[in-house]
Amino acid sequence: MYGGKADNLILLRDNGIPVPEFIVVTDGKAPEVAWEMSSVRSSADVEDSASDSFAGQFDTYLNVAQKDLQEKIDLCIASASNVSAAEYIKQRDIGSNDVKMSVIVQRMIDADCSGVLFTSNPQGIINECVITVGKGTGDNVVSDRTDTTSYYYNTNDGLYYYEGEKDRLTSEQIHELTDLSSRIKELLGDYLDIEFSVKDGRIFILQARKITTLTNSDPSKFLILDNSNIVESYPNLSLPLTCGFVRFVYSGIFEALCRRIIGEGKYLDALKPVFGNMVGNVNGRMYYKISNWYTLIKILPFKKKIIPVWQEMLGVKNKTYDEKQDMKVSFAERMRIDRRIISSFFNSQKEMARLNETFIRINDEFYKSYHDGMSNEELAAQFRIIEKKLFACWDITLINDLYTFVHTGLLKHFLAKKYSDAGDKTNEFLSGITNIESLKPVRAMIDLAYSRKDLSEEEFKRRMDGYIKLYGDRNLEELKLESPTFRTDPGLLIKKIDEYCSDEAKLEEIHKNIMQDDKRDMTGESRRIRKLAARCASGISNREISRLNRSRIFGMVRQIVLSLGKNFCNDGYIANQKDVFYLTYDEMFAMVYEPFDARERIEQRKNEYRMYKCLPAFSRLVFEKEEFSKHHVSVNSHKMVQRNGVMQGVPCSGGISEGEALVVEDISMLENAKDKILVTKMTDPGWVFYLASAKGVISQKGSILSHTAIISREIGIPSVVGVADAMNRINTGDIVRMDGSSGRIEIVRRKE
């Protein structure tokens, strides 16, 4: 009615948004105002539309006294026909006679600081607010007359970081601004540019308009990256070689899976862009491209029942997905695909047993043929052998995951009908899986530590060499090629054994508990529940076997990569052996056949990773189009506002524990894990050595089938996963009480 700017302000004011007092002038006459100074702004009917912002085309005047109001109003009206605006109108084919101009006279805020909030990053990150703020009024910020600070706020996690020398806004103000922006989005739409000022701690919204640089408004076409579950394998930063290798592995395995259930032909060809993009990496961190996962899962029969189960088992928090987009297939083809999926599903346990036998053979063949001093070409050939043999059969592990998820979901369903505490009962039924593979490495290590005092040095060395042969690739962050393992650094194993031996009483207690098998007594349960529990146990057991074997596959590849790194370093193409991990997957193999000097490129990437380390690890990133990594000069991270009170998560292993919290922000902190309640984003399989001596574990990520849950159940310590904000709400040194049966967590006492 009065032009986009004025109409928006009226709507905001009428809905309780803190807007400074204003008057809309439609007749060109200066009003009498009750305030000392005003801002005078144009409000054309063509301005601030979804397609045409007219930003900077019409006049705005700040700090206008009553005596100067008429002059500034006249100038605003006249600006509708200035040269710049006329050209803008011409380019957009808008009739100049159609432009109608109103003027906003608004109480001037003598701001301490002012800025602009973009509800989505205009570069193309949908779930990231960007707030740029500087000292004084907004014209100082727009015209670069003051230093500014930019805040980047992830709307899914409530976490932010800022770029700039000064932290100009408090955490409370950041959250107040983002809350206001959410309310304004409900009124004006999703993608907005909101101007604001802050005076004496109070926030005022000056205007709001559409962002016109974001052109893709269809959420079904957004690229969604989510770190649910994958963060368990790739926590924190992963170097470029690992990121590239992981993409290569996922692409190959999912292609094999699609070939298994669809077969060759046009349908498989149509899915190649999907299985070629199952994972991505942004800011040095790994994510699932989760929209592509949904595309493949929707091929399955009973997809509407399977998807919620899959989401729960992987710990996916945001459960919305596009239900409409499906691969269109004929009825006959649909029936053929369903038969192949169902057949693979029911044969998965037999095929997992065959896969284990195949893997043992491949592993033995590799270590018989691999040796120091191999040429680059020989090492590349070794890699291709592993690729060819394992890609042909490893996809059955994904079918086994489905088998495990479905039967676990069914077990929970039938237990819920019988017991009020179905979640706790499910955890009880899933624990005690005799001789679970992931527990073997820690059992063997604790037994070695327990027996050390009775062994000769020669016998101890022989047993340690045997341990490395079997379990040398299992360690913290073992699926990152750059991570040291017991195989690459045997000193790590000696250090861990020494740690266990340092407290004989504790070692004896752990040894007694962990060496026992504790199968569950299911007397009195129905045949259906016993059968479901047995199938869950089979699926979980095979899943853990494949996880340990997966670490061995990465161990073989790590050996190849380190040997290539040694050769490249000796030839002068990189500065040291481990710099090879800063090459991309394609660059490393290109260097095998056409070597090049990569030292400058690697130094540049090291600088990028120093910056990435300062960025928060966001759980979800939504891109308008393609993903991209950030580039900042300086970064300062922030956490959310800390809150006391009770937290709630998913109970995974029963028991009540109270003790000192250790918030594990870096794996080096695990050296102090003994007798602590560990608080973490997630755990990976290598944590098993540290969980054995901890009092409990609280994880922000996870589900009842995550590694945290499975191992804590087997070790017998309480665990709660899926605890939102745990690492922000709990501090190292706080005394925490956790209940692994109910999922309740309480901060008993703050560290003084």
pLDDT of residue 349: 95
Give the span between the Cα atoms of 728 and 716, in whole angstroms: 26
Angle, helix 422-430 to helix 527-570, in steps of 10 degrees = 60
Of 61-75, 131-145, 491-505, 738-752, the poorest mean pLDDT is in 131-145
pLDDT of residue 434: 47
Cβ contact 62:140 at 8 Å: no
* pLDDT for res 95: 54
Q: Which of 198-212, 594-608, 636-650 has the lowest mean pLDDT?
A: 636-650
Q: Are the C-beta atoms of residues 189 and 208 closer than 8 Å to each other?
A: no
Helix (H, G, I), strand (E, B), or coil: what is residue 673? Answer: coil
Q: Any residues with CB less than 8 A from the CB of 410 and at least 6 apart, and which? A: 532
Tokens at 49, concatenated: 């539309």
Average pLDDT over residues 11-27: 95
User: Mean pLDDT score of the chain, rounded to an integer?
Assistant: 86
Q: Are 737 and 657 in contact (CB under 8 A)?
A: yes
Residue 641 confidence (pLDDT) above 90: no
Averaged pLDDT, 477-494: 94
- The values of phi and psi at residue 586, to 5°, are -65, -40
Confidence tier at 57 by pLDDT (50, 70, 90): low
pLDDT of residue 644: 65
Q: State the DSSP string of 208-261.
A: EEE-SS-----GGGSEEEE-TTHHHHS-S---HHHHHHHHHHHHHHHHHHHHHH
Determine the Cα angle at 109 with ends 106 and 110, to 5°: 145
Contacts of 715 (CB under 8 A, 6+ apart): 439, 442, 513, 514, 688, 691, 692
400-452 confidence digits (pLDDT tens): 998 998 898 888 888 888 877 666 667 777 765 545 777 788 889 989 999 99
Q: Where are the alpha helices (DSSP H) in 455-523?
A: 457-471, 491-501, 504-514
CA distances from 431 to 377, 446, 511, 653 (A): 47, 20, 18, 8
| Residue 112, φ and ψ in degrees, nearest 5 | -75, -40
Least confident of 186-200, 477-491, 685-699: 685-699
Nearest alpha-carbon partner for 39 in 50, 49, 53, 25: 25
Sign of the alpha-carbon torsion through 240, 246, 249, 254: negative
Give the pLDDT confidence score for residue 661 in this predicted structure. Answer: 94
Bridge partners of 239, per DSSP, are none
Residue 5 pLDDT greater than 90, yes or no: no
Report which residue type is found at 39: S
- Give pLDDT tens digits for 248-289: 999 999 999 988 988 888 888 888 888 889 999 999 999 999
Neighbouring CB atoms inside 10 A of 538's CB total 18
The reported pLDDT for the residue numbered 456 is 94
Beta-carbon contacts of 428 under 8 Å, excluding residues fewer than 6 positions away, are 520, 654
The closest alpha carbon to 98, from 111, 114, 115, 86, belongs to 86
How many CB atoms sit inside 10 A of residue 137's CB?
22
Predicted TM-score (pTM) of the model is 0.83
DSSP code string of 430-464: HS--TT-GGGHHHHHHHHHHHHGGGS-HHHHHHHH
Better pLDDT: 22 or 711: 22
CB count within 10 Å of CB 158 equals 16
pLDDT at 85: 61
Q: What would the pLDDT profile of 336-368 be if each residue is shown by its tens digit?
A: 888 999 999 999 999 999 999 999 999 999 999
Measured between alpha carbons, how far is 552 from 544 in angstroms, rounded to an integer? 13
Confidence grade of residue 97 (pLDDT, cut at 50, 70, 90): low
pLDDT for 72 beyond 90: yes
Strands 677-680 and 656-663: parallel
- What whole-number distance in Å separates Cα of residue 291 and Cα of residue 280? 12
- Asked whether the beta carbons of 208 and 12 are under 8 A apart, the reply is yes
Tokens (6 digits) for 751 = 């560290």
Q: What is the pLDDT of residue 633?
A: 74
Q: Please give the pLDDT value at position 555.
A: 96
Cα separation, 274 vs 51, in Å, equals 32
Average pLDDT over residues 76-102: 68
What residues pair up with 637 in beta bridges, in sequence order? 161
CA gap 288, 321 in Å, rounded: 14
Residue 737 β-bridge partners: 658, 746
Percent of the chain with pLDDT over 70: 90
Of 144, 83, 135, 146, nearest to 111 (Cα)? 135
Q: Report the alpha-carbon distance of residue 76 to residue 6 in Å, rounded.
A: 14
3-state SS class at 392? coil
Q: Worst-scoring range by mean pLDDT, 61-70, 73-82, 316-325, 597-606? A: 316-325
For the stretch 529-571, pLDDT in tens is 888 888 988 998 898 899 899 999 999 999 999 999 999 999 9
Among the listed residues 49, 106, 107, 103, the one whose alpha carbon sits nearest the alpha carbon of residue 78: 103
Provide the CB-side half-sphere exposure for 644 (13 A, CA): 7
Report pLDDT for 169. Answer: 92
What mean pLDDT is predicted for residues 378-401?
91
The CB density around residue 447, as the number of other CB atoms within 10 Å, is 15
Task: Give the residue-averaged pLDDT of 361-381.
Answer: 94
Minimal CA–CA distance to 278: which of 316, 223, 334? 223
With cut-offs at 50, 70 and 90, classify the pLDDT of residue 99: confident
CA 281 vs CA 157, 241, 543, 547: distances in Å: 18, 11, 25, 22
Q: What tokens were used for 104?
A: 């906003």
Host H or E run for residue 634: none
pLDDT of 596 over the 50 cut: yes
Q: What's residue 677's pLDDT?
A: 95
The proportion of the chain whose per-residue pLDDT surpasses 90, expressed as a percent, equals 48
- Confidence at residue 635, expressed as pLDDT on a 0 to 100 scale: 84
Q: Which among 436, 470, 683 is positioned nearest to 539, based on CA atoms?
A: 436
Q: What is the pLDDT of residues 282-313, one digit of tens each?
A: 999 999 998 888 888 888 887 888 888 778 77
């009739």: which residue's tokens?
95
CA distances from 60 to 475, 527, 694, 725 (A): 62, 78, 63, 43
